[in-house]
Amino acid sequence: MCGIIGYIGYRIALPILLEGLRDQEYRGYDSAGIATWEDGKIDLIRSKGKIADLEKKIGDKKSNATLGIGHTRWATHGRPDDTNAHPHLDCKKELAVVHNGVIENYLELRSDLTAKGHVFTSQTDTEVLPHLIEEYYDQGGDLLNAVYHATEDVDGYYAMAVLSAKDPNRLICARLDNPLIIGIGDGEYFLASDMAALVEYTHQMLILENGDIADITPQGVTVYNKGQKVERKISVIDWDKASAQKGGYEHFMLKEIHEQPWALTQTLNGRISDDGQEIIFKEFDATIKDRLAKIDNIFLVACGTAYHAGLVGRHAIEKLLHLPTQTEVASEFQNRDAIITPRTLAIIISQSGETYDTILAMRKCQQMGAFTLAICNVLDSTIAREADAVLYTYAGPEIAVASTKAYTTQLAVLYMLTFYLGKLMGKISDAELKELIAALAQMPQLAEETISELESKIFQISLGFAPWNDAFFVGRGIDSAVAMEGALKLKEISYIHAEAYAAGELKHGTIALITPDVPVIALCTQSELISKMISNIKELQARKAAVIGVTTRGNQEVEAVCKDTLYIPQTNELLAPILANLPLQMLAYYAAVVKETDVDQPRNLAKSVTVG
């Protein structure tokens, strides 16, 4: 949510900043801006709209600046327009600040600063930062100290970068609960909210930790925390710019849908023993194993798509481990008096590892003594670092706002974790475990088959689908969790109002909304529930709904009652969600394409929700 970019070194900064903003546009895209330092002055340019609008405004303007910062915004305080766009300046226009996060006490700070004579020009919370830093800078003349004192006055959370007209070779940045990464070059440094914007220049990343303030000059980076100098490790990342580009696909989402077989392979790689008898998590040492062996209840906590992965995970855990298990929306979990003890396992699921509500929920679990295990896609993200243990999904960078490959790999890790715990706790027999692991190992190939077999048929179906304002997704058991993800995917990118229901709930009210030809997607992958699903589909048919069935090959009885049927390959039914989800992603994608919406950057959304 909002993207920061920064550069200090010997190259012309402007093209690097613009490229970095384009790479992070998925984080927020309602306005953007850049501030560069040149000849003792700050040059500021900001624009409402996308990076392309900013570029138009910049035109063929020449710049020789080798120091600058930029920002792409997702508005929280103040509407998206030129004046609320970042960077923001102080009164003397000698300090420029970009900021992600929320300054919770900004009204109080703003009124104190106004009383001291500061003049504000925007409606943002961010603007208090340059004025606050200006106050301290005027007192002591040192930018690092001024930023440090300003952070002490601020309540809330932030990632920020600051430059000063009076400090030609210096970039100061700070983070609290919002990601900020320094790319280490040779005589040059880069700053971004996401590594994807830095990989073009370097693979060496210094990931700032909470409370860190970094002083960056072309000669080096010094990091401070609570006023003390600290050492931070440099992570070397092993993917390149091509992984974060469209690679010939029309949209990132389509590329990411097609990457799922590969992402599954990466995620399973090295985690299945050679004899296929067990799951190996090198991430778990003896202490962790001991703790896991003693758990007696499980919470899965997450937001959005990751929450839906958690719903599937709950079904698998309950079925195989027979432990009390709950899946919770992170933002609500904070308001609950959930029963958490030191024998609770809290599985925290997050693609980005930076979702603010999920971070807060994780910390709550930790305070109450639970063991927290993160399932995360982003290396060394906040959740990955703060959890007691982490299992990474190796999906590669996910750029489209709509999550696809992250969800699928989250499911793969949840299944592996369930199998692992089943063995550890002696709850799954060796024979059953072997069968489940063999089925999971087949998933990359079956996912490939599903995508290639269904894509063109789904495009055809989506043509009839797009004119509709409403759609419904129904399923029973584990399929009802998949239905929820299908509805979210459709609504977020095609803007078709979509709702998911447990199929048995339809006649308790929702069936009143069923009108002739309204699309209903019915998931039917669980053999013991199919006859009940067929009854529900017949009820829908009687109201003339256009039912699209998603079922496993061989289930002809489903085809007999549906307008269209999408077949997925046969597999162990517990794992069917990995495959059943794929046609739903493609249906959402093609409905959005037909409706000509902005698939990768749907309205009002941002990829990483770093505000609560």
CA dihedral 529, 535, 540, 542 (to 10 degrees): 170
CA dist., res. 213 & res. 376, Å (int): 25
548 is a site residue for ligand M6R (CB under 6 A): no
Separation in Å, CA 502 to CA 350, 472, 580: 25, 11, 16
Q: Which residue, 8 or 309, has its beta carbon nearer to ligand M6R?
A: 309
Using CA of residue 448, residue 449, residue 453, residue 459, what is the dihedral sign?
A: negative
Q: Binding residue for ligand M6R (CB under 6 A) from 355, 409, 551, 581? A: 355
> Is 538 part of the annotated catalytic residue set?
no
CA dist., res. 179 & res. 173, Å (int): 11
Q: Which residue, 185 or 583, has its beta carbon nearer to ligand M6R?
A: 583
Q: Binding residue for ligand M6R (CB under 6 A) from 34, 113, 162, 303? A: 303
The residue of the chain with the least Cβ separation from ligand M6R equals 304
- What's the closest the beta carbon of residue 103 comes to ligand M6R, in angstroms? 22
CA dist., res. 98 & res. 169, Å (int): 17
Under 8 Å between Cβ of 563 and 579: no
CA dist., res. 556 & res. 577, Å (int): 19
Locate all alpha helices (DSSP H) within 466-574, ordered by sequence: 478-494, 527-542, 556-559
Catalytic hit among 48, 50, 489, 607: 607
Q: Which residue, 519 or 602, has its beta carbon nearer to ligand M6R?
A: 602
Under 8 Å between Cβ of 88 and 129: yes
- What's the closest the beta carbon of residue 498 comes to ligand M6R, in angstroms? 13
**Among residue numbers 332 through 351, which ones bind ligand M6R (CB under 6 A)?**
350-351
Catalytic hit among 2, 173, 376, 524: 2
* 456 CB-near residues (< 8 Å, 6+ apart): none
CA dist., res. 248 & res. 413, Å (int): 29
Q: Which residue, 185 or 304, has its beta carbon nearer to ligand M6R?
A: 304
Q: Binding residue for ligand M6R (CB under 6 A) from 305, 327, 462, 597? A: 305
Q: 105: which DSSP letter?
A: T
> Is 173 part of the annotated catalytic residue set?
no
Q: Which residue, 36 or 409, has its beta carbon nearer to ligand M6R?
A: 409
CA dist., res. 469 & res. 448, Å (int): 31
- What's the closest the beta carbon of residue 403 comes to ligand M6R, in angstroms? 4
Decide: helix, strand or coil at residue 386.
helix
Nearest residue to 401 via CA among 604, 102, 101, 612 = 604
* 515 CB-near residues (< 8 Å, 6+ apart): 543, 544, 545
Is the preceding omega at residue 87 within 30 degrees of 0, hence cis? Answer: yes
- What's the closest the beta carbon of residue 599 comes to ligand M6R, in angstroms? 12
Interface segment toward ligand M6R; rule CB under 6 A; list 50-58, 197-205, 304-312, 473-481: 304-312
- What's the closest the beta carbon of residue 166 comes to ligand M6R, in angstroms? 39
25 is a site residue for ligand M6R (CB under 6 A): no
Q: Which residue, 90 or 492, has its beta carbon nearer to ligand M6R?
A: 492
Q: How many CB atoms lie within 10 A of CB 554?
A: 10
Q: Which residue, 135 or 357, has its beta carbon nearer to ligand M6R?
A: 357
Interface segment toward ligand M6R; rule CB under 6 A; list 51-59, 138-146, 239-247, 401-409: 401-409
- What's the closest the beta carbon of residue 232 comes to ligand M6R, in angstroms? 23
483 is a site residue for ligand M6R (CB under 6 A): no
Q: Which residue, 54 or 599, has its beta carbon nearer to ligand M6R?
A: 599
Q: Which residue, 9 or 396, has its beta carbon nearer to ligand M6R?
A: 396
User: How big is the chain, counted in residues?
Assistant: 612
401 is a site residue for ligand M6R (CB under 6 A): yes
Q: Binding residue for ligand M6R (CB under 6 A) from 177, 492, 564, 600? A: 492
358 is a site residue for ligand M6R (CB under 6 A): yes
Q: 504: which DSSP letter?
A: G
How many Å from the N-terminal Cα to the C-terminal Cα in the chain? 11
Q: How many CB atoms lie within 10 A of CB 466?
A: 18
* 442 CB-near residues (< 8 Å, 6+ apart): 571
Cα atoms found within 13 Å of the Cα of residue 59, Cβ hemisphere only: 2
Q: Produce one character per residue of 273-284: b if its CB has 16 or more CB atoms within 10 Å, e if not.
A: eeeeebbebeeb
- What's the closest the beta carbon of residue 494 comes to ligand M6R, in angstroms? 12
609 is a site residue for ligand M6R (CB under 6 A): yes
Instruction: Report residue 611 as tokens.
Output: 């505000």
Interface segment toward ligand M6R; rule CB under 6 A; list 143-151, 270-278, 399-407, 590-598: 399-407
**Among residue numbers 402 through 421, which ones bind ligand M6R (CB under 6 A)?**
402-403
CA dist., res. 366 & res. 547, Å (int): 45
- What's the closest the beta carbon of residue 87 comes to ligand M6R, in angstroms? 26
Q: Binding residue for ligand M6R (CB under 6 A) from 72, 124, 325, 352? A: 352
The residue type at 598: D
Under 8 Å between Cβ of 281 and 271: yes
- What's the closest the beta carbon of residue 125 comes to ligand M6R, in angstroms? 21
66 is a site residue for ligand M6R (CB under 6 A): no
Binding residues with ligand M6R: total (CB under 6 A): 16
Q: Which residue, 449 or 598, has its beta carbon nearer to ligand M6R?
A: 598
486 is a site residue for ligand M6R (CB under 6 A): no
Provide the binding-site residues for ligand M6R, judged by CB under 6 A. 303-306, 350-352, 355, 358, 401-403, 488, 492, 608-609
Catalytic residues: 2, 607
